[in-house]
Chain A
Amino acid sequence: MQNSLRQGKLRLQKWYTATAERDKKKMVRELMQIVLARKPKMCSFLEWRDLKIVYKRYASLYFCCAIEEQDNELITLEVIHRFVELLDKYFGSVCELDIIFNFEKAYFILDEFLMGGEIQDTSKKSVLKAIEQADLLQEEDESPRSVLEEMGLA
């Protein structure tokens, strides 16, 4: 599970185990309370239920992952960081509004990076290439005029 949140507003969430909607809401509420109450300089890891929580704050956004007992905390912190880098690179200095207005893009980037809770590719280039390809396809789909323009140019 991964989510980004701010002032108790969830902006993005992704669950990698089947969880009932009600439980999800409860868990999110509980986690927000715990994480938002943490002070700066505190440890980025904490035990919660039978999971470990790894979180990091970027400006107004908290990114938070729940990992299992045997998972590596430090590398998870860098999973978060790499995801933030990807968002940043894609949106160009990302801010919360980008994630709000382009939530579907944020999901696509996350999906391209993580799948089923595991890293699919750690190369920034590979992930962004996949997203850009999709964007290109999108442009071809949606703006027939630009194709005409392209032809005109050609």
Chain B
Amino acid sequence: MPAVSKGDGMRGLAVFISDIRNCKSKEAEIKRINKELANIRSKFKGDKALDGYSKKKYVCKLLFIFLLGHDIDFGHMEAVNLLSSNKYTEKQIGYLFISVLVNSNSELIRLINNAIKNDLSSRNPTFMCLALHCIANVGSREMAEAFASEIPRILVAGDTMDSVKQSAALCLLRLYKTSPDLVLMGEWTSRVVHLLNDQHMGVVTAAISLITCLSQKNPDEFKTCVSLAVSRLSRIVSSASTDLQDYTYYFVPAPWLSCKLLRLLQCYPPPEDGAVKGRLVECLETILNKAQEPPKSKKVQHSNAKNAILFEAISLIIHYDSEPNLLVRACNQLGQFLQHRETNLRYLALESMCTLASSEFSHEAVKTHIETVINALKTERDVSVRQRAADLLYAMCDRSNAKQIVAEMLSYLETADYSIREEMVLKVAILAEKYAVDYSWYVDTILNLIRIAGDYVSEEVWYRVIQIVINRDDVQGYAAKTVFEALQAPACHENMVKVGGYILGEFGNLIAGDPRSSPLVQFNLLHSKFHLCSVPTRALLLSAYIKFINLFPETKATIQEVLRCDSQIRNSDVELQQRAVEYLKLSSIASTDVLATVLEEMPPFPERESSILAKLKKKKGPGAVSVTELEDNKREGGELNGGGDRGPDTAAMAASNASTPSPSADLLGIRSAAPVGAPPASTGSLLVDVFSEAGPAAPSAAVNDDGFLSSAPPSEDPAPPLSEADELLNKFVCKNNGVLFENQLLQIGIKSEYRQNLGRMYLFYGNKTSVQFASFTTTVSCPGDLQSHILFLNVQTKPVEPLVEGGAQIQQVLNIECLTDFSDAPLLNIKFRYGGALQNLTLKLPVTINKFFQPTEMSSHDFFQRWKQLSQPQQEAQKIFKANHSMDTEVLKAKLLGLGTALLDNVDPNPENYVCAGVIQTKSQQVGCLLRLEPNAQAQMYRLTLRCSKDSVSRRLCELLAQQF
């Protein structure tokens, strides 16, 4: 065997590497590297032409420096020069440098392609291989364009050397993966498939990767490969352990090729030809038999190679899902592995059994291993193995063992690793729901879940338990009793309070007969938790209280007192305050009948897919939940959701949705403020949805060529913007909804939402008079070059009726796309005739650059690192200004969150300061922004600093924000 320092002895390189290794500190290393870089640079720039050897040495040094993690910004040209050297090692180093350092869109690609072309046509196999390797390593589109048609020719040509064929096959595969449209097999297909018959095992091994990938994409064109693959597999499986010489690996004949053949077969259904199928089944049986034979070697390599084939064969058996005998044998084999001493095998067996569990043929066989799997969940030391065990328990669960499995999973949850708790919670919740025969068990399970792992119980889970309790009247009394008991615990999780509040609010009457849970006891119990809860939970509790007033008139006085106290009715949180005020009012002015109607028991929820199942699917990605499972759910879910025939009307649904308070309650507070079970707005006069989305027809509009968007050709020039337009705009910097403008005639409300660089804005025009507006038109325009920054798209067009009746309201929708950052606001012009007089007013539409923020969470370290990176003077904008509004922490936080950025805690060393981070999404680019707000309460001043990757954004944000605080 060759000695290490063989042949080349680039001594300079070795010395340099030793130097680096001897460096005592990072600084010393950087110093040494910089010295070397300077030296190489001067050599490359020098007048004296370098010989090939020196060039190779320096290029190699650069490569080493790059691999240490330093940036290299020169030397590419020298590397390209090496490609055309006819000395092998120089060429080789050149190609290596290019493979590692040249990114696919480099300008050098043309030069490189030239060199590759020469080497491919050189007929020198080693040069050809180098060139093919380079193509495969870089794999860019330009390379695919240049060579995709040439390589199949090399691959199938009769006189191509085996080693070149191997490289050509894999090179083509790489190009196919990056640019499938450029690799056209067409006439070559059959010859490529026949490479499976090649005498050279290496050629088959390389070619099969290509064929598998092509078969996945074009199964029909390549289907002849099935019979070839089966016969090849059969020959390998039946060969003695030494037949294949160098392709035998630790007494296992051609394990890699076997795995790949089995993999290829998984692209197709079982062979139709009986003889081929028979032969294949024989192979699979042989593989299963061999697993039972004593090992030919004690080395782990032997068993790994053998089992790799076995697992691949089992995958194929599962893929076919048609041979009950093989499926059961596979399951038994995996069962043995479940108790194997090798952790790897236990892991894979658990994983593989998960898929077996979903086959009707092997489901029962899998279930027999339940005790082993439960034991694995309890005793495995490696969390990734435990995770697999939990997955398998979930997969093997059915009606017969659900109680046992759920109980085991619940007890495991108490000690489960944090990383898998949320998923476990979802799984338990789904199983409990899916296999619940008696609903008291279901309720117990979910409440246990909340008790054990409350923090990991997502909203979907507790929404779901409420949905089910509401839909099943046979469980409501039990649920009320159980939550009441659970709430007795001195410290119970907030999710428990939510479920408790909701259920007692609906069904507390079912247990009120017992003096131990009389209405007042229930109320006091709930209210004892109130002060420790977050705002959304408190909002929910307030709704429960008003429901109590309806259920139990005797609690009215107590509850009204609670609602009336300052901490409710003057609460700084708008949502809470509004609920308290409205509920108080409702309870004092509405008659018992009205109250009973408004606060009626919730109607059943319509049948739909379980929200938690949807969540699990989202978490695990599509395909994680097997098809049978989904069908099961459909079948059995119907039963659970119950009462499907009593379809509740949609308005009540809307109200019931609103009753689960969302933290992002819109600021207009129309929907979320509706009391629980509020009747549709059309029947109750309590809440009139002024900005009803279902308003009358909106004015139609079209986008004109000049970028104007108008509902009718303007008959008169738009008025200049109102003097207060800027002020109105400023009100909307930190919020998206509200009343934009109001005078004696007209009210304009806005609701808007933004996602990434897109936005949608609903404008509501309300006629406040009793007289109709005629010729009502609206125009949105972008002054100056703003057009090129923001785009208004397809405005909702409905048949135009440019009349707005007295007291009516019309709606308009604007779709907005942010192309690049911008500073000016678009203008909204409104014209109409009121009693003959033309009204013409122009406002600024509150579309500001911050609307396109995506919040970015980051650690303190990352924040300050980025802060330092944005240190150019123009990237920073700063303002020191006097406070115009309250300096209250909560108010400031709400504003900063409304801004759209992430408000970062524990980042600024001074806790008084606020720091935020976000990325502005525009179509053309993303602009990273960091913000720091330093209040000085004594002086009633702020210092605001912005650093953004684009200077115009820093300036604009600074301007906008200085008005907000």
Contacts and interface: CB of A to CB of B under 8 A. Distances in A.
A130 B202 CA distance: 13
A58 interface: no
| Prevailing SS type, chain A contact patch | helix
A41 interface: yes
B176 to A, nearest CB: 10
Interface string A4-27: 000000100100101000000100
Contacts of B384: 42-43, 45-47
A137 B130 CA distance: 14
Contacts of A142: 7-8, 53, 87, 89
Nearest to A9: B68
Nearest to B385: A43
B133 A115 contact: yes
B2 A82 contact: no
A104 B384 CA distance: 36
Interface in B862-904: none
B965 interface: no
Contacts of A45: 344, 347-348, 384
B860 to A, nearest CB: 18
Interface string B85-102: 001111011001001100
A36 interface: no
B157 to A, nearest CB: 18
B394 to A, nearest CB: 16
Contacts of A124: 246
Given A50-B621, A101-B14, A123-B201, A137 B385 contact: no
A118 B100 CA distance: 18
Interface of B is mostly: helix
B163 A126 contact: yes
Interface in A52-109: 70, 72-75, 77-79, 81-82, 89-92, 98, 100-104, 107-108
Interface in B1-28: 1-4, 6-8, 14, 17, 21
Contacts of A101: 4, 14, 17
Given A42-B343, A138-B8, A75 B133 contact: no
Interface residues of A, number: 59
Contact of A119 (B209, B263, B385): B209
A30 interface: no
Q: Which of A74, A77, A116 counts the most chain B CB atoms within 10 A?
A: A116
A77 B606 CA distance: 51
Given A78-B255, A119-B206, A122-B249, A108 B348 contact: no
Contacts of A47: 384
Contacts of B762: none
A92 B5 CA distance: 11
Q: Which residue among B246, B257, B385 has the maximum number of chain A CB atoms within 10 Å of its CB?
A: B246
Interface residues of B, number: 74
Contact of B202 (A16, A72, A90, A122): A122
Nearest to A12: B67
B305 A78 contact: yes
B801 to A, nearest CB: 52
Interface string B45-56: 000000001000
Contact of B21 (A25, A100, A102, A139): A100
Nearest to A24: B69
A119 B257 CA distance: 10
A2 interface: no
Contacts of A119: 205-206, 209, 256
A104 B256 contact: no
A103 B308 CA distance: 31
A138 B163 contact: no
A137 B89 contact: yes
Nearest to B166: A120
B205 A18 contact: no
Given A74-B304, A78-B255, A111-B133, A98 B4 contact: yes
Contacts of A143: 7
B254 interface: yes
Interface string B306-327: 0110011000000000000000
A14 B431 CA distance: 43
Given A18-B103, A101-B14, 16 more contacts: A16-B174, A42-B381, A42-B382, A45-B347, A50-B621, A72-B263, A75-B255, A75-B305, A78-B255, A78-B256, A98-B4, A107-B96, A120-B205, A124-B246, A141-B90, A142-B53
19 contacts: A16-B174, A18-B103, A42-B343, A43-B343, A43-B382, A47-B384, A75-B312, A78-B249, A78-B304, A101-B4, A111-B99, A115-B133, A116-B173, A123-B201, A135-B2, A137-B89, A138-B89, A141-B87, A142-B87
